[in-house]
Chain A
Amino acid sequence: MPTVLEPVTKPIIKKRHESDDDLAPTFYVICWNDPVNLMVYVTHVFIKIFGWNKEKAEKHMMEVHEKGKSVLVREGAEKAEFYVHQLQNYKLEATMEPAE
């Protein structure tokens, strides 16, 4: 019985590159301006949700107030969604917009 040489095939192992995570869509969490939310309240909410210091929270609050919106963070879908839920619980108008 002739021996049949079978081709040696190496299993294809898909390497998990660090860039796999980079390919997952990311989102900007944006807070939009309105005339009803008090400035001191918006600053408080940013500190509470993101754990920022007062200076950073006030910077973003002023950006919302003066420019109409502020990009608060850039995150993967799950975390961006979490932040939007948190901000909306405080009745701030927050959305998640695709980063690309």
Chain B
Amino acid sequence: MKLVKESKGVWQYHLAQNEADVLVGLLKKFPFTKIDAVKISKTDKHPKAREREKLLNESLAEHRKELKKLALDLIRPDKLKLEEKGLLMTLSSENRETMLQILNDIRVGSWRVLGEPDDLHTNTPQTSAKDLAYRSLMDLAGYFECGLLTTES
């Protein structure tokens, strides 16, 4: 995945065919994990903090539903065009942010399923097939995040 050019808020990336296949697969199957409840504060015991936390979790659930809809929008034919030796992906700045949020949802969600390990890279013979799958998801999402954030063409 390589940035081809960015101009006036339109980003174009070249993807090899196998990269495009993987990225489309990730977006089509999003989300991969259950949504986790989050804390709004580590110290605030005021009743208002509980209300805020409830609101935050409701808002995040709604946001994820919206991301799921938008994920399918990102793989429309007008955004991914066949070219020689791969595909050209064209994204607005807004599309790019959406894709980053989806990819990081996959990355962080997979990490949580894995038990929030500090060591992200060590697999052992005891690593289960399920864990290997989530580690792969985490790595793939990170790979595409880096690709999207690369500013050099």
Contacts and interface: CB of A to CB of B under 8 A. Distances in A.
Contacts, number: 72
Best-buried of B40, B60, B146 by chain A (most CB within 10 Å): B40
A57 to B, nearest CB: 12
A11 interface: no
B145 to A, nearest CB: 6
Given A38-B142, A40-B149, A95-B42, A88 B101 contact: no
B129 interface: no
Interface string A39-50: 011001000100
A36 B111 contact: yes
A77 B142 CA distance: 33
Chain A: interface size category: 20 to 34
Interface residues of B, number: 33
B39 A95 contact: yes
A67 B20 CA distance: 38
A36 B41 contact: no
B56 A84 contact: yes
Given A88-B38, A98-B44, A41 B56 contact: no
A35 B120 contact: yes
Interface string B56-98: 1001100100000000000000000000000000000000010
Contact of A91 (B56, B105, B116, B118): B105
Contact of B120 (A36, A85, A89): A36
6 contacts: A35-B119, A81-B55, A95-B40, A96-B40, A97-B44, A98-B43
